[in-house]
Amino acid sequence: MNHLPLITGLLAALTALPGCDKSGAEPRAALPAATATGAETLGFRLGGAAWLPAGQRCSIYGCTDNRVEASSHLSGRRRFLLLTAARTDGSRNESFVLQIDSLAGPGVYRATAGGPGATGGEAGTKLYFTDSRRGRQYQSQPGTARIIITVVDTVHNLVAGTFEGQLPNLRAGEPAVQISSGRFDVLFNR
């Protein structure tokens, strides 16, 4: 039995099918505008290249798009703010954390946390970045980063601002990363 016509037909059909469009896997090259409207945006330059949340995280419950997440709570008279974002597109598996341990309103907040870790036990104001594929973690140290809060609206749960800093590698002797032109405009506790 001659299968050549069948194989030729199948190959012709397969070549006519459109391939996967991977152009949407990379986020926009431009950073989001620095706004204060609850636009749910976060972006910064990492070593000069734009970094924005992108890709998806999947679990046994399905997949969800990576986007900026924001939470805030009061502990006594202190308001804590935590922003998290991830980028898992292509060969990347990166996460970003911005934390303020005493948010009092608009103003400049300098990095104070010196201990390792993204969030948790040690209080402090910090920027934290991890590249899981390469096994690298970076965190601001006291005085190496600043966060400028431009708007805090606890009625509408809105916070917006900018940030920048040098984040040393948590592994001694490894190079630091530079974060610049950072901005966020988020609704917290939604």
- 3-state helix/strand/coil string of 118-133: CCCCCCCCEEEEEECC
Q: Is residue 20 part of a domain?
A: no
Give how far Cα 115 sits from Cα of 22, 101, 139, 179, Å. Answer: 39, 14, 9, 19
Residue 150 is assigned to a structural domain of this protein: yes
pLDDT tier at 86, thresholds 50, 70, 90: very high
Residue 121 lies in a domain: yes
Dihedral (Cα; 95, 122, 111, 169), 10-degree rounding: -50
Does residue 7 sit within a domain? no
Q: What is the pTM of this model?
A: 0.81
Given a cut of 60, whether residue 85 has pLDDT beyond it is yes
The reply to whether 19 falls in a domain is no
Mean pLDDT to the nearest integer, 154-176: 95
How many domains are contained in the chain?
Answer: 1
Instruction: Indicate whether 52 pLDDT > 60.
Output: yes
Q: Which helix (H) or strand (E) holds 16?
A: helix 4-16
Angstrom CA distances, 25 to 84, 90, 93, stand at 20, 7, 13
pLDDT given at position 2: 53
Candidates 101, 168, 173; CA nearest to 129 is 168
Give yes or no for residue 94 having a pLDDT over 70: yes
Least confidently predicted of 1-15, 24-38, 110-124, 139-153: 1-15
Give the range of the structural domain holding residue 135, as residue numbers without chain letter.
25-187
